[in-house]
Amino acid sequence: MKKACIFVENMYEDMEFWYPYYRLQEAGFEVITAAPEKGITYTSKHGYPAESDIAVSKVNPGEIDVLIVPGGYAPDKLRRYPEVLELVRKSYENGAVIGTICHGPWVFISAGVTKGKKMTCVTAIKDDLVNSGAEYVNREAVVDSRIVTSRTPADLPAFMKAVLEEAEKK
């Protein structure tokens, strides 16, 4: 069974966590939620809870087929944890599809995986993405070398379609 990992932290964007969570389950993935600490309940921007299954430091990047970083304000917290950045880098290096939406590219920027890639994001962090060496493309979903990015919750159908198509290629 393929395995997917979705990060969670306080102030995550509800739809950008739950839509991928259920779509990946529907597609037959074992989905785990990873956070700085295991067993903690994190609260979304709108007050919806999500509990972490595992501490990020305990995730084996060699077992991850898909890694998702939801947006909201959680990425600003997540990018401050070295083990989060390491998991993003190592998962990508091991061939995982890594996807992010909205403010989530902040984590990819801090992980150092954006240089030379075509990507998109919410316009509020477009300059951050460009300054990291990425080429900004204003489309609902952008795929470049197993990195899938989208702009806002309205792009979730295109985002997950692209994530699942990339995962099929593995």
Q: Of 5, 46, 103, 121, which residue is the catalytic one?
A: 103
Q: Is 46 a catalytic residue?
A: no
Which residue's entry shows tokens 């037959």? 28
Rounded to the nearest 10°, the torsion over CA 61, 63, 66, 69 is -40
> Would you call 121 a catalytic residue per the annotation?
no
List of long-range contacts for 124-129, beta carbons under 8 Å, 24+ apart: 129/105
Task: Write out the E strands in 24-163.
Answer: 30-35, 41-43, 49-51, 54-55, 66-69, 97-101, 118-119, 135-136, 142-144, 147-150
* Residues 72, 18: Cα–Cα separation, whole Å: 13
Kindly state the tokens that stand for 76.
């600003």
Selected catalytic residue, list 5, 46, 102, 121:
102
* CB contact at 8 A, 6 and 31: yes
Distances, alpha carbon 65 to alpha carbons 96, 105, 109, in Å: 5, 19, 20
Active site residues per annotation = 102-103
